[in-house]
């Protein structure tokens, strides 16, 4: 089992390293949509659209309840994926021997900083291109 984990650590690609970033973006979009639907469902003001409307009472909460429930389930699933991915990335990064590369990878792929922010954080006169090149060279060696 340990051998399998070691192999998994060695085979991470840029795309795999970026999964946490994209999961976080997806979670933010789901939260935004959930807030939007919740506001629509609980809104008491009427919409003026200029279109004729049928009389009667509509159950806005009931109308959106299924979609809200689905979004909450999807959000929960993505949060679990995010936790899994964070642990996986941490294991990978901690397996790297070079402390500078560990720091760069952590700032970029766990903290989600852009390359210029990573360069500024590690200091030493590094540019955004130089820290990006350090990571690219490291990944090509593997």
- pLDDT of residue 57 exceeding 70, the answer is no
Tokens of 107: 């700032």
User: Under a CB-based contact definition with an 8 Å cutoff, are residues 37 and 71 in contact?
Assistant: yes
pLDDT value, residue 131: 96
Among 35-44, 51-60, 113-122, the range of highest mean pLDDT: 113-122
pLDDT score, position 1: 43
Tens of pLDDT, residues 65-123: 888 899 999 999 999 999 999 999 999 999 999 999 999 999 999 999 999 999 999 99
pLDDT at 43 over 90: no
- Judged against a pLDDT cut of 60, whether residue 38 lies above it is answered with yes
Predicted pLDDT of residue 40: 83
Tokens of 113: 């900083």
Q: Which band of pLDDT confidence, cut at 50, 70 and 90, is reported for residue 62?
A: confident
| 107: exposed, middle or buried (Cβ count in 10 Å: 0-12, 13-18, 19+) | buried
Tokens coding 73: 């389930």
The pTM for the full model equals 0.69
List the domain boundaries for the chain: 21-43+59-95, 97-142
Q: Please determine, for residue 41, whether its predicted confidence score (pLDDT) is greater than 70.
A: yes
């Amino acid at each position: 089992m340990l051998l399998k984990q070691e192999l998994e650590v060695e085979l991470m690609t840029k795309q795999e390293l970026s999964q946490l970033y994209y999961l976080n973006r997806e979670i933010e979009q789901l939260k935004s949509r959930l807030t939007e639907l919740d506001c629509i469902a609980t809104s008491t003001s009427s919409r003026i659209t200029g279109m004729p409307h049928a009389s009667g009472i509509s159950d806005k909460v009931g109308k959106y309840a299924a979609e809200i429930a689905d979004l909450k389930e999807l959000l929960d699933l993505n949060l679990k994926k995010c936790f899994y991915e964070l642990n996986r990335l941490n294991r990978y990064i901690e397996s790297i021997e070079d402390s500078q590369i560990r720091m760069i990878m952590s700032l970029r792929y766990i903290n989600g900083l852009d390359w210029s922010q990573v360069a500024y954080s590690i200091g030493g006169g590094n540019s955004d291109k130089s820290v990006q090149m350090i990571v690219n060279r490291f990944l090509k060696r593997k």
